[in-house]
Structure 1
Amino acid sequence: MAGERYVDHKVLKTFVQNKVNVPPDEARERRRQVNHLRERLEDYIAAHPDFDLVKLRASGSTAKHTAIRRRSGTGSDADVAAYLRTTDTDIDVSTMLTWLRDRCIEVYGATKDADDFKPSDHAVGITMRSSGLKIDVVPVLYTGEPDDKGYLVTADGTKVLTSVTLHLQFIQTRKDKAGDGYRELIRLLKAWVRESKEVDPELRCKSFLIELLVAHLWDVGWNGKPLQVDDYPAAMEQVLAYIVRTGLRTPIVFTDYYKADAVRTTADPIQVWDPVNPENNVTRSYTEQDRQRLVNHARATLDTITMAAYAATKGEALASWRELFGPTFPGE
């Protein structure tokens, strides 16, 4: 490729910093609110030794530092994993969420309105009226295993082994070697996916999948080169080319916490295995149509980036990139 004449790493980095990254003040406020919630719940646990809420851990994109700037009224700002001990192995998720909601209300007492606590299909959402922040408290069944291992319970009752601590360690290990560009590249790709879903709401590509694709390419490289975390246009091309060339048909397995032969491959159209749980294909619900849609979209995006690289004018190059990131690009 002839090099991004008008849209290079510097332009994309400026866009990420101005339009994608969570502003530092907001990030600090998110962490403060999460820590405040954890401290109040943990104090309650200490005062009630027989309480079934065992411990709390910050989780999700905010804890991983891969969160992107939230658009008004959408999504949550932070996640907290609430580890619950129960003897009922067949617990119903709706019962568990109702119980957890009641415990959160007890902790906050009269300082918050009951309407600020809303269970969803997998979490209890808590809205902080003073700041507008929303925290999702996700229940995890705790069985006493080390490394904060426990079981998420999905809306259909399926129990999935997870570990907040090991997931954070997984991404931190790679960031420590790759540098700050590693997580910022993830944020850039998440912004691309979010904009893509505005155009095609049926497109499926969860944030965790983006994180694992980047991790895989950091581990193994692409086309004989390491992942170019310090050259965002080149790195985007690598990720997109991987999706297009493999068609996402090649299973992705990580060996940080288990051996590769612990995975039993399936007939699922896409197989990207949870780094913590060799029995959990994180894309198990993706259909063949979902796979084709994502691969075709990656191909179209790759074509757009190529057009931008060979654009005759800066205006033409920016117009191509705006197709990918919306009208605010480059956000200078």
Structure 2
Amino acid sequence: MAGERYVDHEVLKAFAQSKVNVPKEEAKERRRQVNYLRERLEDYIADHPDFDLVKLRASGSTAKHTAIRRRSGTGSDADVAAYLRTTDTDIEVSTMLSWLRERCIEVYGATKEAEDFKLSDHAVGITMRGSGLKIDVVPVLYTGEPDDRGYLVTSDGIKVLTSVTLHLQFIQTRKDKAGDGYREVIRLLKAWIRESKEADPELRCKSFLLELLVAHLWDAGWNGKPLQVDDYPAAIEQVLSYIVRTGLRTPIVFTDYYKAEAVNATAHPIQVWDPVNPENNVACGYTEQDRQRLMNHAKTALETISMAAYAPTKSEALDTWRELFGPTFPGE
């Protein structure tokens, strides 16, 4: 019989607060920088009625409050969706990005260096020299649809319907019912997958996929129980168990903004459908090998948690959990 559970909800909660969550002051600074960028660009739009930049919306993990601390200076701290109006329906993403970069440079004027604005395959990255924060400005083609619907353009020219506002509303609706633990579970899972990717760089599991798995288990429960958002070890076990038991072969569809019949089955190994766009399987690029690799990582993590539950001492239990979250666990 298992002994005392040394790593319980409070231990994981403390770890999240000390090592996973973005510190309050840093989060506040991120929001300030994003708002500053938005205000300057929106003022520019107001002064240039013919400007093709229509509006800006904060997006991504920072806006959803599911962001985790950045490591080693990689990645962005915040995302902004820049809605562009254009009559060129065949516009290339590289053209959009170059144009958007020039607009951002114009807005900041002489206050920043040109090298502070760097292009990636999907965004204009802006580095704030004073704080070191990085903001990705992502272009979205705007066609006048409601709820901030617009089209992301992939590097190969495919247009993907999205809505920053509806995505935020999707997660907020569930958080309002579940409480703060809902987003904390997502952040802890992101910390686990980041650690897993450091051990296995071939592992694929985007943050948005984790968010949707948590949303599905909140909606549907697992193994006859609701998602245990007030017991973090149990909730993590539920998500891992779902990945292992289903193998992620069962399609996941949300009906917040469209009917289930709007989704057409595909041959993709993993099918988790964007809650805003019934034509966008967020895992469409994942191969069968990717599915198996993710399932195997989840299986190993699940076995590790089970071993920790039987650990005879707290020290051994903590050592076991470090296999999931790395050497900084429990963050004491």
What is the CA-CA distance between 1:72 and the residue it aligns to?
A: 2.6
Report the equivalent of 2:149. 149
1:134-182 CA distances to partner (integer Å, 9 max, x unpaired)?
A: 0000000000000000000111111000000000000000000000000
Report the equivalent of 1:195. 195
**1:193-272 matches, cutoff 5 A:** 193-272=193-272
**Aligned residue identity for 1:296:** N
What is the CA-CA distance between 1:3 and the residue it aligns to?
A: 7.2
Report the equivalent of 2:288. 288
Report the equivalent of 2:17. 17
Q: Does 1:181 align with 2:198?
A: no
**What is the CA–CA distance in structure 2 between the aligned matches of 1:324 and 1:72, rounded to whole Å?**
19
What is the CA-CA distance between 1:73 and the residue it aligns to?
A: 1.1
1:215-235 CA distances to partner (integer Å, 9 max, x unpaired)?
A: 000000000000000000000
TM-score, reference length from structure 2: 0.99
Report the equivalent of 2:100. 100
After superposition, the Cα gap between the structure-2 partners of 1:4 and 1:222, relative to the gap in structure 1 and judged at 3 Å, is farther
**What is the CA–CA distance in structure 2 between the aligned matches of 1:130 and 1:152, rounded to whole Å?**
30
What is the CA-CA distance between 1:313 and the residue it aligns to?
A: 1.1
**What is the CA–CA distance in structure 2 between the aligned matches of 1:72 and 1:306, rounded to whole Å?**
31
Report the equivalent of 1:62. 62
- Sequence identity, in percent? 87
The number of residues matched between the two structures is 332
The answer for unaligned runs of 5 or more in structure 1 is none
What is the CA-CA distance between 1:188 and the residue it aligns to?
A: 0.3
**What is the CA–CA distance in structure 1 between the aligned matches of 2:72 and 2:291, rounded to whole Å?**
29
**Aligned residue identity for 2:114:** A
After superposition, the Cα gap between the structure-2 partners of 1:36 and 1:194, relative to the gap in structure 1 and judged at 3 Å, is same
**Aligned residue identity for 1:87:** T
What is the CA-CA distance between 1:2 and the residue it aligns to?
A: 3.9
**1:81-120 matches, cutoff 5 A:** 81-120=81-120
**What is the CA–CA distance in structure 2 between the aligned matches of 1:249 and 1:298, rounded to whole Å?**
14
Moved over 3 A (4+): 1-4
Report the equivalent of 2:170. 170
**Aligned residue identity for 1:133:** L
Contact 1:83 1:139 in 2 (8 A): yes
SS of residue in 1 equivalent to 2:82: strand
1:246-278 CA distances to partner (integer Å, 9 max, x unpaired)?
A: 000000000000000000010000000000000
Q: Does 1:34 align with 2:34?
A: yes
**Aligned residue identity for 2:254:** F
Contact 1:4 1:308 in 2 (8 A): no
